[in-house]
Chain A
Amino acid sequence: EPEVTQTPSHQVTQMGQEVILRCVPISNHLYFYWYRQILGQKVEFLVSFYNNEISEKSEIFDDQFSVERPDGSNFTLKIRSTKLEDSAMYFCAIPPASGRGNEQFFGPGTRLTVL
């Protein structure tokens, strides 16, 4: 099972501030995915990213969100102007090392708290 780490584990921010969440797969991956889980609710898909481009995004992933691969290894999810309702666990996921696969392995998550 491929490994992925996420930083920070917990981020507290003021409403309106920008946050950047990071995902670092242990080995090179071209595909990665972001999901979020608001407390007490189900895990929801945000965006999939392949080879430096967004391949699919949900209606949740509006203009305040962006993803990129800044240095060829880790992946980031940026929220430009956070809102109270952005408070959630954010999970990065990657497919098997062999490439794209419908199976995904999840990172430990970043707990984002917006005050």
Chain B
Amino acid sequence: AQSVSQHNHHVILSEAASLELGCNYSYGGTVNLFWYVQYPGQHLQLLLKYFSGDPLVKGIKGFEAEFIKSKFSFNLRKPSVQWSDTAEYFCAVNARRDDKIIFGKGTRLHILP
């Protein structure tokens, strides 16, 4: 069965700090990988996705993530965070043969102005 592990439950940073949120998944086959973001009071939005090709993917709002197959990881990064990045971030995976998306528990990011 697939599973997703997010390393940090709650991260607090100051504006302009660099961000890296860890994500590891467990599945033996080919997967698609996602990061979703949920801003306060809003619904889940797709931040970025990896299906195939270049393992370094760029998403919206300056976010990027790197797929490292050997480590089963898909960490999210941003070089300089802003107060508006305060949100909850979910790493997710689905198997290529599947429809369902499996989510991690989420990381609540709080940016201090």
> Chain A residues in contact with chain B, CB under 8 A?
1, 31, 33, 35, 41-45, 48, 55-56, 58, 91, 93, 100, 102-109
Distance, CA A41 to CA B104, complexed state (A)? 9
Residue pairs across A and B with Cβ atoms less than 8 A apart, 10 shown, are A42-B104, A43-B106, A45-B102, A56-B100, A100-B99, A102-B101, A103-B34, A103-B49, A105-B46, A106-B44
A-B interface pairs (CB < 8 A), number: 53
- Compute how far the CA of A62 lies from the CA of B46 in the bound complex, rounded to whole angstroms: 29
Distance in angstroms between the alpha carbons of A56 and B98 in the assembled complex: 9
Contacts of B94 in A (CB 8 A): 102
* B51 CB-CB contact with A under 8 Å: yes
Known: A91-B44, A103-B49. A42 touches B34 (CB 8 A): no
Kindly provide the distance from the CB of B97 to the nearest chain A CB, expressed in whole angstroms: 10
Give Cα A45 to B103, complex, Å.
9
Residues of A contacting B106 with CB < 8 Å? 42-43
Q: State A33–B103 Cα separation when bound (angstroms).
A: 14
**Cβ contacts under 8 Å, A109 to chain B:** 43
Q: Do A48 and B90 have beta carbons less than 8 Å apart?
A: no
Which residues of the partner chain A approach B101 to less than 8 Å between Cβ atoms?
Answer: 33, 35, 45, 93, 102, 104
> Which residues of chain B from 67 to 106 have a CB within 8 Å of any chain A CB?
90, 92, 94, 96, 98-106
A45–B42 CB distance below 8 A = no
- Cross-chain contact A58 with B100 (CB below 8 angstroms): yes
A43–B90 contact, CB under 8 A?
Answer: yes
Q: Tell me, yes or no, whether B32 is within 8 Å of chain A by CB.
A: yes
Closest 7 CB pairs of A and B: A45-B100, A106-B44, A108-B43, A43-B103, A48-B99, A102-B32, A42-B105
Separation of A10 and B98 alpha carbons in the complex (Å): 30
